[in-house]
């Protein structure tokens, strides 16, 4: 159904606003100079040129519908149309030999740094260009997967010490030459621990419907509900404001066994 497919122009405008058009353009230029990385029609990509299977996966993921026009959602998802089932199936079916799923729950923990380190070792040390790194995101870490609108309307009131979503802000390191692998302020260094940078390197972030439902309940319990929404409506609103390219699951802890059965190595 057409209502399940996001408008391409709207998605691209949002993506440009999130990462910044200047950064995307700079990324294209540096990749062209380096000759070892490639871009695609959606903007910045830091995939190694040898990562053909991983690049193909991301092309398929971009082609899958992501419904973000919910009016209400139930507590337990029983209909595949209520989550990104096609994108999740593509992940589970990834044929690459080297793939890892991280169980991330702590927003303030080192979760982005751990995935960056894992990528560096797999890609540059062990030469596994097609290594797929997945973040199974729930708990407070899931807050990083909401856009600025949700943070302004809800999360900044629930946790005033966290005024903005700094995890989705592009870093200056994305301007760096990607051929400079050892640069301490470059794209592979701790300076680039951000969700946009990791997504550009092929990391996929899985969102958790159960986490969305529970956050909605917490907001209701605290009276943070300016529009007077019902629980099902508030959960839908949060779902509609996940950041671009996130894959919505019916629940992360129940999806982890599916990924492990498909050969993903578990980490936390």
Residue with tokens 């982890």: 256
Task: State the Cα–Cα distance between residues 67 and 57, nearest whole angstrom.
Answer: 19
Q: CA–CA separation, 231 vs 135, rounded Å?
A: 26
Predicted TM-score of the model (pTM):
0.85
194-215: b or e for each residue (b if 16 or more CB lie within 10 Å)?
bbbbbbbbbbbbbbbbbbbbbb
Give the residue among 101, 115, 238, 230 at the shortest CA–CA distance from 167.
115
Buried b (16+ CB within 10 A) or exposed e, 138-171: bbbbbbbbbbbebbebbbbeeeeeeeebebbebb
pLDDT in tens, the chain (268 residues): 333 434 443 443 344 343 333 333 233 333 322 333 333 444 568 999 999 999 999 999 999 999 999 999 999 999 999 999 999 999 999 999 999 999 999 999 999 999 999 999 999 999 999 999 999 999 999 999 999 999 999 999 999 998 899 999 987 787 788 899 999 999 999 988 999 999 999 999 999 999 999 999 999 999 999 999 999 999 999 999 999 999 999 999 999 999 999 999 999 9
Displacement of CA 244 from its chain's centroid (Å): 7
- Name the residue ranges covered by the structural domains of the chain: 2-267
CATH of domain 2-267: 3.40.1260.10
């Amino acid at each position: 159904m057409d209502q399940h497919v996001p408008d391409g122009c709207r998605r691209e405008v949002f993506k440009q606003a999130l990462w910044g058009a200047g950064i995307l353009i700079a990324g294209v230029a540096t990749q062209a100079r380096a000759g070892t990385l490639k871009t695609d029609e959606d903007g910045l990509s830091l995939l190694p040129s040898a990562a053909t299977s991983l690049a193909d996966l991301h092309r398929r993921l971009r082609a899958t519908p992501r419904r973000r026009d919910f009016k209400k959602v139930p507590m337990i998802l029983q209909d595949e149309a209520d989550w990104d089932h096609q994108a999740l199936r593509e992940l589970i079916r990834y044929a690459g030999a080297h793939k890892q799923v991280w169980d991330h729950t702590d927003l303030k923990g080192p979760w982005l740094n751990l995935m960056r380190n894992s990528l560096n070792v797999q890609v540059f040390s062990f030469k596994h260009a097609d290594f797929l790194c997945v973040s199974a995101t729930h708990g407070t870490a899931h807050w990083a997967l909401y856009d600025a609108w949700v943070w302004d309307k809800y999360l900044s009131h629930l946790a005033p010490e966290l005024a903005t979503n700094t995890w989705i802000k592009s870093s200056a390191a994305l301007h760096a030459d990607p051929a400079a692998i050892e640069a301490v302020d470059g794209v592979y260094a701790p300076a680039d621990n951000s969700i946009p940078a990791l997504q550009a390197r092929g990391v996929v972030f899985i969102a958790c419907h159960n986490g969305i439902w529970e956050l909605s309940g917490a907001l209701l319990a605290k009276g943070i509900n300016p529009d007077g929404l019902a629980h099902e409506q508030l959960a839908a609103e949060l779902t509609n404001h996940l950041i671009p390219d996130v894959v919505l699951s019916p629940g992360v802890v129940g999806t982890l066994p599916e990924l492990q059965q498909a050969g993903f190595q578990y980490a936390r």
